């Protein structure tokens, strides 16, 4: 039988970590159990995040191809997320925060609207109302890390530049399909700026925040990006979905690095207004 020589290197990876624990800790069995419990909890967190991503994307995709089935899938997604909120104590904040998306889609589908602006207003109004309610109701864990104030003198111009680039890229991808229609320019600008603020408040300030609190920062980026991209799927425009994916990935990563809602809001508002300016200038 092969034996590890005394003083030889411990193999890298999880097995190695368990092995080190056994060698150095007199309460090796306790440590083993603790590490195993940690691994199981990590797997449960990944499963929970994947459940949210799968249910949101699946329901919105079905809404595009089979609207009636998609509406039922949205209802099922809502029931699933609400059920998990009631069942899972540790992860309830993230599940209830995610259930806002199918509820907002449900509200926008249920009410008759005479224009795109009215439809978007119902969707975003519901998102804003529920986000405000949950931001107030859900508990926030206090971070042990000392909060450092970002250097706004550098950060704001950097975010403005990022927003302008995002807006230009968005125009390059979907500029041909977008038009002001009957809307006046100031109304469209105000509407898009308002939507950008609501998007940041819900997708970063509520969803990403509580998912990060419950399962960790990397999974929180994935969930926020998937939820935002899912909302654009029923429009059936691959360009719009690509723009939503690029924008939300940039903003979610920025929020993960800085944890500052003001900076991401500035970026999103700049991106939307740059796109609008491009549309108005070319038209």
Partner 1 sequence: MLLGVVFDNPETLQKIVLILNTILLIGALLVYEFAFAHASKTKKKRFKLLYPILFVMVGILGYAAYKQGGA
Nearer to partner 1, 183 or 253 (CB): 183
Contacts of 126 (CB under 8 A, 6+ apart): 100, 103, 104, 107, 108
Nearer to partner 1, 53 or 279 (CB): 279
Is 241 in a helix, a strand, or coil? helix
Contact 193, 272 (CB under 8 A): yes
Cβ count near 34 (within 10 Å): 13
Q: Which two tokens stand for residue 99?
A: 């259930």
Contacts of 104 (CB under 8 A, 6+ apart): 123, 124, 126, 127, 130
Nearer to partner 1, 51 or 258 (CB): 51
* Least distance to partner 1, CB of residue 199, Å: 8
* Least distance to partner 1, CB of residue 228, Å: 9
Nearer to partner 1, 162 or 268 (CB): 268
Cα 49 vs. chain centroid, distance in angstroms?
A: 11
Nearer to partner 1, 109 or 156 (CB): 109
Contact 225, 249 (CB under 8 A): yes
* Least distance to partner 1, CB of residue 267, Å: 16
Q: Which two tokens stand for residue 145?
A: 């890390």
**Interface contacts to partner 1, rule CB under 8 A:** 63-64, 67-68, 71-72, 75, 78-79, 82, 85-86, 89, 92, 96, 99-100, 103, 105-113, 116, 119-120, 123-124, 126, 129-130, 133-134, 137-138, 170, 174, 177-181, 183, 188, 192, 195, 199, 231-232, 234-235, 237, 240, 243-244, 272, 275, 279
């Amino acid at each position: 039988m092969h034996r590890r020589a005394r003083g030889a290197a411990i193999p890298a990876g999880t097995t190695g970590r368990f092995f080190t624990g056994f060698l150095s800790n007199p309460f090796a069995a306790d440590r083993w159990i603790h590490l195993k419990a940690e691994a199981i909890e990590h797997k449960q967190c990944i499963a929970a995040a994947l459940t949210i991503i799968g249910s949101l994307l699946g329901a919105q995709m079905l809404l595009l191809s089979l609207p009636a089935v998609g509406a039922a899938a949205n209802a099922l997604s809502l029931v699933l997320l609400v059920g998990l909120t009631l069942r899972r104590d540790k992860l309830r904040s993230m599940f209830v925060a995610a259930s806002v998306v199918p509820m907002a889609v449900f509200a926008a589908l249920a009410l008759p609207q005479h224009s795109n602006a009215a439809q978007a207003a119902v969707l975003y109004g519901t998102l804003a109302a529920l986000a405000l309610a949950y931001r107030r109701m859900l508990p926030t864990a206090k971070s042990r890390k000392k909060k450092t104030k970002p250097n706004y003198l550098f950060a704001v111009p950097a975010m403005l530049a990022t927003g302008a680039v995002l807006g230009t890229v968005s125009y390059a991808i979907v500029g041909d399909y977008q038009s002001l229609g009957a809307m006046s320019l100031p109304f469209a600008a105000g509407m898009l700026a308002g939507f950008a603020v609501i998007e940041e408040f819900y997708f970063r300030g509520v969803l990403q925040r509580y998912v990060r609190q419950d399962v960790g920062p990397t999974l929180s980026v994935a969930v926020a990006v998937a939820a935002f991209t899912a909302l654009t799927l029923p429009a059936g425009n691959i360009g719009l979905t690509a723009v939503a994916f690029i924008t939300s990935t940039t903003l979610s990563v920025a929020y993960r690095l800085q944890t500052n809602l003001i900076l991401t809001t500035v970026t999103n508002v700049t991106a939307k207004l740059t796109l609008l300016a491009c549309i108005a200038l070319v038209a």
